[in-house]
Structure 1
């Protein structure tokens, strides 16, 4: 069940709270809603409550036809925290959610106690972009071909052979076309390079070694740029490491958060 917060520009943002304990905000990837986290959010409930949201343009949130940005998405997270009366929270962002989390931690340091950045990038001219073969695979015209390419970028062949779906990380199927475009532009225009040294929250960077959708070379860039950040690379993992490798990734994140004073 969702509750709604209203942003300063009048957009209603749907959010969901599960569990009990100190809050952990979970931020999904581009063009996805809170269901991105369905497979793993229970992993955190022994020690945390979890807060998810539907980005503007997705799920039960409003879908205004106007430009979006990762900085703007971060402002939407602040609106949710304000609506909940939460002063500080731990934040775990993956993919575009990690880009949103960078703005959140850099621009609102008093609201972020600890930060986890998963399978993400600093963006801009310093970020390492996916190669052209990957780009072409995601715009194939044959029915189902682009979806299959995305699945194979998310998960290993061995995992796909034994997990037949449903898959929650392939985008919100109910998104209108204008919202999909706004999300794509927001993610592509992200550039937090100059902001990263100002992040003061203890930070863990997590990435799959075999991630081609958001190349693994971005992980050490983030780690070197954020003061005191730690890096953990999961061997053999692709973009959806948090799902396929949850038995390692979820305890890793929880242990990090628990160790932060």
Structure 2
């Protein structure tokens, strides 16, 4: 397993696959590289994909220090540096979309094109999930929490018939403190003032039935980022890229190849 060294000395594990122009894939909060299992291959005909285990997850170091979406972006730059990649397309989903916002805004020379999936600008301008959704995720019964998360990610028909495993439900190997650090990092994200600084071609994608990160955030991002395109996938929940892979992957590929 290759590692990049972050600015604070933490080791960030990363993975590559395919061949072609580089595409950095950034997954969701408290998840590792497996978020992209079964999907990254869709891009390998024209892209060399790069994934990473966020600090606190997978094979990366897990320091018990404050995390932030800006810090995760800096870790991603360390990975690109270690690979000798000067510029990459970036596709971030959920918290990974928040990290991707900082990459494009703060490191514009490193990002060629940008796709933001099922994410939000954060801060007071974002549309927050409902109290009912929040309560469903803090129940004392872990089985009930997993079921609630599954329902937020996928439609009932899909979750009932898909063979699994479901790779978007969190990294089970994470220590509890790292989960809290990830939650705090995502909750504190606020890139609203930086979004107009994003100057690369940008596509915003969201499922219309996403309650985990409400779909109303998608037009906020698209209107705030100059020239951004918006595409809503009817009927999709938070894990649109997985359940609606046959729609989402070609959509993203077409955008990346045309930009």
Structure 2 SS opposite 1:114: strand
Aligned residue for 1:144, secondary structure, equals: helix
* 2:33 aligned partner: 34
Please give the alpha-carbon distance, in whole angstroms, between the structure 1 residues aligned to 2:175 and 2:240: 28
1:61-115 deviation digits (Å, cap 9, x = unpaired): 0000000000000000000000000000000000000000000000000000000
Cα distance, 1:38 vs structure 2: 0.2
Aligned to 1:179: 178
Q: TM-score, normalised by structure 2?
A: 0.99
**Separation in structure 1 between the aligned mates of residue 207 and residue 100 of structure 2, nearest angstrom:** 18
With 161-170 and 77-86 compared, the bigger mean Cα shift is at 161-170
* TM-score of the pair, normalised by structure 1: 0.98
What residue in structure 2 maps to residue 90 of structure 1? 89
Give the distance between the partners of 1:35 and 1:12, measured in 2 at CA: 18
Alignment map for 1:191-230 (pairs within 5 Å): 191-230=190-229
**What is the distance in 1 between the residues matched to 2:221 and 2:142?**
37
Shift of residue 143, structure 1, vs aligned partner? 4.6
Instruction: For 1:101 and 1:224, locate their aligned partners in 2 and report how far apart those are by CA, in whole Å.
Output: 17
Report the alpha carbon displacement of residue 39 of structure 1 after superposing the two structures with TM: 1.9
Aligned to 1:124: 123
State how 1:46-195 maps to structure 2 within 5 Å.
46-195=45-194
State the secondary structure of the residue aligned to 2:76.
helix
Distance across 2 between alignment mates of 1:7 and 1:84: 13
Superimposed CA distance per residue, residues 142-201 of structure 1 (whole angstroms, 9 cap, x where no aligned partner): 351110000000000110121142111000000011110100000000000000000011
User: Which is further off, 92-101 or 139-148?
Assistant: 139-148
In 1, distance between residues paired with 2:124 and 2:142?
Answer: 34
Compute the RMSD of aligned alpha carbons: 0.6
CA displacement at 1:141 relative to structure 2: 2.0
| Alignment gaps of 5+ in structure 2 | none
SS of alignment partner, residue 147 of structure 2: helix
Q: Distance in 1 between matches of 2:235 and 2:166?
A: 20
How many residues align? The count is 259
Q: Which residue of 2 aligns with 1:21?
A: 20
Cα deviation per residue 1:36-78 (whole Å; 9 max; x = unaligned)? Answer: 0002000000111100000000000000000000000000000
